[in-house]
Structure 1
């Protein structure tokens, strides 16, 4: 403290309090995700065959459940902790962006290799993701296709990272491990496995684990959430672009 700095300013800068949330918060968020997905499924009902997928179905049926769950996760950090910046280590740093881009490129390579090998083993139809199956047999309106592209590329990864490598990672990391390195490694392993399983596509779980490893590594190396967000967005870009072109009838998956 300098002579010009008042003592009160130092006293006001208290360290963040230990967050009062853990695995229970993550389980609540997962329950919100599943419940909201089921609710919007009933709300939207069956779509008439032959009609293009409207933008409403993308915004409500695809994006709303994940966005709602992520919003609940952020609210929990506000009410039971120090907010997402401190609790989820969500802060902007260019170094994290660069690291995320590097791991994103690695993820694209691993995804391409993994998808090729997986397709050879199980066939094209069984290797198709749930979203690819949704748009594979019918076109979307232009606004719906663009909304789906932006969600898959940019918004979806942010929401999923808040839930899995933010909330879940933080809950695991704060357990009483022998040292911090063991805690970080456990958080990496568990969040990678749960992220893959949470997509509810049992046949593709192994492939999803391969895809999520570079994303988790970006979180592990940087120690913050932005790196994994950027890596996730980078990894999703080409699949999102492929779905955009397919849904508009420009290309086929």
Structure 2
């Protein structure tokens, strides 16, 4: 008798128990454009209420008006992913990857140069009245060093995270769920980012600022790169706001 082949005598091990269990499928998020509109409404309504309550704001109120609306909107975006999705890490790709960081730094650096050029042109076009909303709020207000640094860190590091959660997170994910092409998602999110700041005189400038940030999101497919690019782009404006808040530079 011939000896049976190993394949005839050895059977595959029985796949049972945790070590052989198939990973649970990640469910698709269940939010749409309504989630983005809700988070954006939180931002707008918070800004309006604070402006009405603090008609003549002091230093602490100014900081609250600059920080609270953006942070609340960002928290709403995170909450929506937890309730209607898998959390920001999976739904937005908000995780630490060296490649995303380097891509964000590279694209953000290019964006910073284009922003500086565009801002210079915008200021020449607008003349002496050229000003951002943040600079206008701080005009004539001198903040204590601790609060000035807090505003600086918010504009440089925190606000970009919150804004990316809204525009390249909720909005981007909602349009992807509607099976829009990546190019259309990029174009619409870039346009709404510029319009959503509610600064008509700066809309075209914000559009230029938003292009490299959106590219970082589209190239990597994850939010980390666009957050980094946004933070790089916001650094010099944040320094300017710090100097204005300290009274070392006119608004």
Give the TM-score normalised by structure 1. Answer: 0.89
CA distance in 1, matches of 2:167, 2:111: 17
Residue number among 127, 141, 162 corresponding to 1:138 in the alignment: 141
Cross-structure match for 1:31: 41
**Helix, strand or coil for the counterpart of 1:46?**
coil
CA distance in 2, matches of 1:221, 1:138: 41
CA distance in 2, matches of 1:11, 1:184: 34
Aligned length, in residue pairs: 240
Shift of 1:140: 1.6
Cross-structure match for 1:94: 98
For 1:36-75, list aligned pairs within 5 A: 36-47=46-57, 53-58=58-63, 60-75=64-79
Q: Is residue 2:208 matched to residue 1:205?
A: no
Residue number among 162, 167, 172 corresponding to 2:165 in the alignment: 162
Shift of 1:80: 0.9
Q: Is residue 2:246 matched to residue 1:248?
A: yes
Q: Is residue 55–residue 143 contact of structure 1 (8 Å, CA) maintained in 2?
A: no
Deviations 1:30-88 (A, max 9, x none): 111111112222333323xxxxx523431x21111111111111111111111111111
CA distance in 2, matches of 1:42, 1:9: 59
Deviates more, 1:238-247 or 1:148-157: 238-247
Shift of 1:167: 0.6
CA RMSD of superposed structures (Å): 1.9
Give the TM-score normalised by structure 2. Answer: 0.89
* Cα 1:124–1:218 shift into 2, 3 Å: farther
CA distance in 2, matches of 1:110, 1:3: 60
Shift of 1:5: 6.9
Q: Is residue 25–residue 76 contact of structure 1 (8 Å, CA) maintained in 2?
A: yes
Deviations 1:206-247 (A, max 9, x none): 010001111111111111000000000000000100110122
CA distance in 1, matches of 2:112, 2:160: 15
Shift of 1:120: 2.0
CA distance in 1, matches of 2:66, 2:20: 47
* Cα 1:3–1:91 shift into 2, 3 Å: farther
Residue number among 141, 149, 153 corresponding to 2:152 in the alignment: 149
Cross-structure match for 2:8: none
Deviations 1:180-230 (A, max 9, x none): xxx211111111100110110111100100011111111111110000000
- Structure with larger Rg: 2
> Please, which runs of 5 or more residues in structure 1 have no aligned partner?
48-52, 178-182
> Please, which runs of 5 or more residues in structure 2 have no aligned partner?
1-11
